[in-house]
Amino acid sequence: MDGYAVKRSDGKGIRVVKNVATAGDKPIKEVLQSGEAIRISMGDPIPAEADAVVPLEDTSVVEYSIDGSEVIKVKIKREPNYNENIRGIGSDVNEKSLVLQKGVRIKHFSLGVLAMLGKTNILVYKRPSIGVISIGNICEPKEELATGKIKDANKCTLINLLKNVHYEANDCGIAKDNPDAIKQALEQSFTCNNVIITNSSMGELDMLKRVLVEDFQATIHFCRIKMKPGKYTTFATLMYNETWKIVFGLTGNQSSCAITCILFVIRALRLIEKFPFERFVHISIPPNSFNILPFNYDCREYRLVKVNRTLTGMTTAKEVPGVLSNLDKANGLLILEPKKDYSIKDSNGDYRNLYSVILFHENYYQ
């Protein structure tokens, strides 16, 4: 604190100001005597024999020097407390203590702590560079809409969804629905990105897979998943200019594209940068929070839902699963397990099976 270093045993009353310590100067070597005070600034070393610092607001000037430039005497208006406003050496971070755990994301305050400790060179995992490509007979949102075309909403959605979870993605444009255009778009994006995310219709997705295998000798690890939506999500890896590249092929269905980005892409990005913590919150909700939903699915299904503070909600994508506006209304994904009956109750009247929900918005209780 900015104030006066004093001896607590002197109590309150008038002190002779012996010296003035300026922040950043060498410590005052003089020993503080009874009845004396030393003007001190925040962060200064404590003078010898001082055991309290009284803030300026608890003091008043009694006497100035003749020219008025220095305080000669000051009044301490209350009893000081022992060790008041004094921090011991190492009170913030002890010697040999753990400051940052391996695998955590470095945030603003982490950088401040590192700067305080003088740790200007640290070993970090490189964040993956990401490129997003849309494939098909589509146009940029700012372009005039021609007959037979639709505006590219997926690329904008994906880039900002990734930004919301701290990943900066590059807009790699739109590739026309032919092999040469897809190959050229991939080559351009491979030059500056480690991870490529595409979105396209089913036919264009098949074309993408052929280009990846035939032109880039990629390995297709999977291209069908037993889930809804997102059945045709594709995952491939390849070597380009002696560097590994990862490609996610997402479908053009707007809600499917966003949902598979949440479930697959973001989790994969965390694994790449060795970030072990799950950003999205998982909660369990009794079925009476929703209308009881059918359970005769052949695969796991994800429904967009809105969950409020009372842990009740409503499905927002039940009728038309591809409607983009449903994404804006939702704050989570309801997981429906195949052939699981959510209407069964036990002898106490409690539901035996609970709905599992992934909350994916930063402020998911809005």
pLDDT at position 23, please? Answer: 61
**Rounded Cα distance, 108 and 156, in Å:** 27
- Residues 333, 337, 339, 342: is their CA dihedral positive or negative? negative
Q: How many domains does the chain have?
A: 3
pLDDT at position 331, please? Answer: 82
Looking at residue 248, what DSSP letter applies? E
Same domain, 167 and 204: yes
- Report the CATH number that the domain containing residue 49 is assigned in CATH: 2.170.190.11
Helices marked H in the chain — which ranges?
108-116, 154-164, 179-190, 202-216, 254-260, 266-272, 325-329
Condensed to tens digits (0 to 9), the pLDDT of residues 298-343 reads 899 888 888 876 665 565 555 455 567 777 778 888 888 888 888 8
**Rounded Cα distance, 80 and 54, in Å:** 7
Judged against a pLDDT cut of 70, whether residue 112 lies above it is answered with yes
| Greater model confidence, 253 or 196 | 196
> Could you tell me if residue 120 is inside a domain?
no
Condensed to tens digits (0 to 9), the pLDDT of residues 257-271 reads 999 999 999 989 988
> Could you tell me if residue 104 is inside a domain?
no
Q: How confident is the model at residue 366 (pLDDT cuts 50, 70, 90)?
A: very low
Cis preceding-peptide flag for 47 (omega within 30 of 0): no
Same domain, 192 and 252: yes
Evaluate whether 352 touches 344 at the Cβ level (below 8 Å).
yes
Q: How confident is the model at residue 157 (pLDDT cuts 50, 70, 90)?
A: very high
Condensed to tens digits (0 to 9), the pLDDT of residues 67-78 reads 988 999 999 999
Same domain, 69 and 141: no
Condensed to tens digits (0 to 9), the pLDDT of residues 7-19 reads 999 999 999 999 8
What is the domain extent for residue 170?
A: 130-272
| Residues in the chain, total | 366
> Could you tell me if residue 119 is inside a domain?
no
Helix, strand or coil, per DSSP, at residue 103: coil
What are the residues facing 133 on neighbouring strands?
Answer: 198
Token representation of residue 194 = 């480690």
Q: Per the confidence metrics, is the pTM higher than 0.95?
A: no
